[in-house]
Chain A
Amino acid sequence: MIERYEIRLAGEGGQGLILSGLLLAAAVAVFDERNAVQTQSYTPLVRGAPSRSEIVISDGVIDFPEVIAADCLVALSPGAFRDFSDAVKSEGRILVDSELVSLDGVQPRAQVLGLPFTRLAREKVGKSLAASTVALGALAELTHIVRLSSLEEAVRMRAPQGTEELNLRALKVGAEAARELAAVGRASA
Chain B
Amino acid sequence: MQETTTEIRFASPKRYIEESLIFKKSQLGEVGFLSGNEACAYGALAAGLSFYAGYPITPSTEIAEILSYRMPALGRVFIQMEDEIASMGAIIGASLTGRKSMTATSGPGFSLMQENLGYACIAEVPCVVVNVQRGGPSTGSPTSPAQGDLMQARWGTHGDHPIIALYPASVQEAFELTMVAFNLAEKYRTPVVFLMDEVIGHMREKVVFPKEGQIPVLERRKPPKGLERFQPFAEDGGLVPPMAAFGEGYRYHVTGLHHDPAGYPTLRPDEINRWFERVFAKIEQNLDEILLYREEDLEDAETVVVSCGITARSARAAARSARARGQKVGTLTLQTIWPFPEKVLRQLGSRVRRILVPELNRGQLILEIQRCVRNPEVEIRGINRLDGGVITPAQILEKLEERSWPGNSH
- B312 closest partner in A (C-beta): A63
A116-145 interface code vs B (CB 8 A; 1 in, 0 out)? 000000000000000000000000000000
B221-247 interface code vs A (CB 8 A; 1 in, 0 out)? 000000000000000000000000000
Task: Confirm or deny: B203 has a beta carbon within 8 angstroms of a beta carbon on chain A.
Answer: yes
**CB atoms of B393 and A29 under 8 A apart:** no
Once the chains are docked, how many angstroms separate the CA of A65 from the CA of B143? 17
**CB atoms of A63 and B206 under 8 A apart:** no
Task: Confirm or deny: A66 has a beta carbon within 8 angstroms of a beta carbon on chain B.
Answer: yes
Contact residues, A25-40 vs B (CB, 8 A): 25-26, 29-31, 35-40
Cβ distance A99 to chain B, nearest Cβ, rounded Å? 30
Task: Confirm or deny: B204 has a beta carbon within 8 angstroms of a beta carbon on chain A.
Answer: yes
A65 / chain B contacts, CB cutoff of 8 Å: 199, 203, 205, 310, 313
- B388 closest partner in A (C-beta): A41
Task: Confirm or deny: B259 has a beta carbon within 8 angstroms of a beta carbon on chain A.
Answer: no
Number of A-B contacts (CB under 8 A): 67
Cβ distance B149 to chain A, nearest Cβ, rounded Å? 20
Give the residue of A31, A36, A38, A63 whose beta carbon is less than 8 angstroms from that of B317.
A63
Contact residues, B84-106 vs A (CB, 8 A): none
B58 / chain A contacts, CB cutoff of 8 Å: 44
Once the chains are docked, how many angstroms separate the CA of A25 from the CA of B394? 24
**CB atoms of A157 and B205 under 8 A apart:** no
**CB atoms of B392 and A64 under 8 A apart:** yes
B: interface residue count bin = 20 to 34
Task: Confirm or deny: A43 has a beta carbon within 8 angstroms of a beta carbon on chain B.
Answer: yes
Interface of A: prevailing SS: mixed
- A153 closest partner in B (C-beta): B23
B31 / chain A contacts, CB cutoff of 8 Å: 30
B33 / chain A contacts, CB cutoff of 8 Å: 22, 25-26, 29-30, 158
Once the chains are docked, how many angstroms separate the CA of A66 from the CA of B58? 20
**CB atoms of A29 and B314 under 8 A apart:** no
Instruction: Check A37/B142 contact, CB under 8 A, given A22-B33, A68-B392.
Output: no
Task: Confirm or deny: B292 has a beta carbon within 8 angstroms of a beta carbon on chain A.
Answer: no
**CB atoms of B203 and A38 under 8 A apart:** yes
B303-319 interface code vs A (CB 8 A; 1 in, 0 out)? 00000001001101100
Task: Confirm or deny: B202 has a beta carbon within 8 angstroms of a beta carbon on chain A.
Answer: yes
B20 / chain A contacts, CB cutoff of 8 Å: 157-158
Task: Confirm or deny: B150 has a beta carbon within 8 angstroms of a beta carbon on chain A.
Answer: no
Cβ distance B42 to chain A, nearest Cβ, rounded Å? 15
Instruction: Check A68/B394 contact, CB under 8 A, given A26-B23, A29-B33, A43-B143.
Output: yes
Cβ distance B134 to chain A, nearest Cβ, rounded Å? 11
Once the chains are docked, how many angstroms separate the CA of A37 from the CA of B310? 13
- Residue among A44, A66, A153 with the highest chain B CB neighbour number at 10 A: A66
A25 / chain B contacts, CB cutoff of 8 Å: 33, 204
Once the chains are docked, how many angstroms separate the CA of A63 from the CA of B313? 5
- B389 closest partner in A (C-beta): A66
Task: Confirm or deny: B390 has a beta carbon within 8 angstroms of a beta carbon on chain A.
Answer: yes
Task: Confirm or deny: B24 has a beta carbon within 8 angstroms of a beta carbon on chain A.
Answer: yes
Contact residues, A1-51 vs B (CB, 8 A): 22, 25-26, 29-31, 35-44
Known: A29-B206, A30-B32, A41-B143. 12 other contacts (CB 8 A): A30-B31, A30-B206, A36-B205, A38-B204, A43-B143, A44-B143, A63-B317, A65-B203, A65-B313, A154-B23, A158-B20, A158-B23
What are 20 residue pairs bridging A and B, where the CB atoms are less than 8 Å apart in the complex? Answer: A25-B204, A26-B33, A26-B204, A30-B31, A30-B33, A30-B206, A31-B23, A31-B24, A35-B206, A37-B203, A38-B203, A39-B203, A40-B202, A44-B58, A44-B142, A64-B314, A65-B205, A66-B390, A157-B23, A158-B20
Which A positions have Cβ atoms within 8 angstroms of B?
22, 25-26, 29-31, 35-44, 63-66, 68, 153-154, 157-158
